[in-house]
Amino acid sequence: MLPLVLASTSPFRAALLERLSLPFEAFAPEIDETPLPGESPAAMVRRLTAAKAEAARSHYPAHLVIASDQCAVCNGKIIGKPGTHDKARAQLSGFAGKEVRFLTGLALLNTSSGNMQLDIVPFGVWFRTLTAEQIERYLHKEQPYNCAGSFKSEGLGITLFEKMAGDDPNALIGLPLIRLTTFLANEGVELP
């Protein structure tokens, strides 16, 4: 098996990949993540996912590179990481009773053969109508300021939802393990 590289500095993605019990090295891809004018959320995720994988190619010439990118979309608008308490409060307040759709791109690049498998895994989250007090309590407890959508579904963020729908709940956290398992099998990596 070719060695694995995770082209991400996300601790959430690393923790998910560790669940597969495969050794891997992390690599920080240096790419510009600015959306292009008129670019759809899906096109942006696909482009950035591929770019992150490609950024590792010259550093890892005989490896399997795993890359991922994600965006959240509500009412047709891309929702980013809030960065601050006030922006997180505004995001969560605006989600009341609405669906936030997450598009998680996944790529597996075999840098030896040049073969890249690339897909987008969607996941939907429907929010409850929350009081200002509930939002404040949640934000003070989890401080999800570096998470798209201002929540951590693997923690207390689950209490903010009315329902969730999608093929792989790991996609919501940032790395669709079900699709990754298929991609790895296509490269001869059998799990478990």
Q: 115-166 pLDDT, tens per residue?
A: 999 999 999 999 999 999 999 999 999 999 988 899 999 899 999 999 999 9
Mean of the pLDDT values across residues 14-33? 96
Position 170 scores a pLDDT of 95
Q: Is 168 a catalytic residue?
A: no
Cα angle vertex 63, ends 58, 65, to 5°?
80
Of 41-45, 145-149, 184-188, the one with minimum mean pLDDT is 145-149
Proportion of the chain above pLDDT 90, given as a percent: 94
Considering only CA atoms, which of 10, 14, 102, 107 is closest in space to residue 64? 107
User: Catalytic residue among 69, 119, 167, 168, which?
Assistant: 69
pTM: 0.92
Say how far apart CA 118 and CA 116 lie, in whole Å: 6
Domain ranges of the chain: 4-186
Following CA atoms 7, 149, 122, 41 in sequence, which dihedral angle do they give, to the nearest 10 degrees?
-80
Does residue 46 have a pLDDT over 90? yes
Position 148 scores a pLDDT of 86
* Number of neighbours of residue 55 by Cβ within 10 angstroms: 17
CATH 3.90.950.10 for the 4-186 domain, yes or no? yes
